[in-house]
Amino acid sequence: MRIILIGPPGAGKGTQAVRLAAHLSIPHISTGDLFRAHMNQGDQLGRTADVAVRAGLLVPDEVTIAMIEERLARPDTEGGFLLDGFPRNLAQAQALDALLAGARSRLDSVLDLEIPESQVVSRIAGRRLCREDREHIFHLDHSPPRVAGTCDVCGGELYQRDDDHEATVRRRLEVYRADTAPVVDHYRGQGLVTRISALGSVEEVLDRALAAIGQGEAQGHGLPSK
């Protein structure tokens, strides 16, 4: 399956993407995670991304699209993929359409995670990530680690993302409204969008997402519910 997960910051895209991708045995491709990996390496792409990410703005399209083209050219995507954080504006959506058309391929589904804006800042303020594995995500209130500051899964140190502070989160929300919301309309025009409430537990949202893509009840998705 070829799936796009879309939604404002704080909707839980990363949390759900990890579980959905594991359930469907397809790679989880997160532009945010790819940028953070380059930023940690301090390479040219990472330095370009760093400025935009810290400001809560989009990384320039030419950089982002080239990175995704390279990633989607790898053989592990032949059986499908789950895109998390891409496309984030209409130019990116059009580039993806062209790429898929060129490969005689097409999207199966676009899942639009919905969350009231009033929830976003508190959700993000409590978010903590593991330094050892980008897929181990916690929340101080909603899914706290058993030991403060330590990842339950691997014992890694938990940290707060540089762009998860309130002023930057508000900027990311503005960018979402202006640039990313039109992407949902673009795919709605193609009949691909299912809107899902991002409220409730991780398991509840996962069940909704699986139902939306015709995969029924969540079973054996391979990660603890935290």
Q: Is 86 in the site for ligand ADP (CB under 6 A)?
A: yes
Residue 109 bridge partners (DSSP): 3
Q: Which residue has the tokens 């990410």?
A: 53
- Is 13 labeled as catalytic in the residue annotation? yes
Task: Mark whether 172 is an active-site residue.
Answer: yes
Q: How far lies 216's CA from each of 23, 207, 211, in Å?
A: 11, 7, 5
Out of 19, 23, 38, 88, name the contact with ligand ADP by CB under 6 A: 88
Which of these, 135, 139, 124, lies nearest to 172 by C-alpha position? Answer: 124
Decide if 161 is catalytic. Answer: yes
150-209 binders of ligand ADP (CB under 6 A): 163, 172
Who's near 119: CB < 8 A, 6+ residues apart?
Answer: 10, 199
**Among positions 6, 20, 59, 158, the unique one binding ligand ADP when judged by CB under 6 A:** 59
Range in contact with ligand ADP (rule: CB under 6 A) among 55-63, 185-193, 206-214, 215-223: 55-63
Classify the C-alpha dihedral 193-26-135-216 as positive or negative: positive
Residues 13-52 that bind ligand ADP (CB under 6 A): 13, 31-32, 35, 52
End-to-end alpha carbon distance in the chain? 25
**Between 186 and 215, whose beta carbon lies closer to ligand ADP?**
186
| Sign of CA pseudo-dihedral 41, 44, 45, 48 | positive
Helical axes 166-175 vs 44-55, angle rounded to 10°: 100
**Is 12 a residue that touches ligand ADP (CB under 6 A)?**
no
Indicate which single residue of 56, 95, 138, 210 sits in contact with ligand ADP (rule: CB under 6 A): 56
Active-site choice (19, 36, 127, 128)? 127
Residue 53 binding ligand ADP, by CB under 6 A: yes
- 139 binding ligand ADP? (CB under 6 A): no
Report the residue from 4, 26, 58, 192 that binds ligand ADP according to the rule CB under 6 A: 58
State in angstroms the smallest separation of the CB of 189 from ligand ADP.
20
What's at 163, amino acid-wise?
A: D
Residue positions annotated with a catalytic role: 13, 88, 127, 161, 172
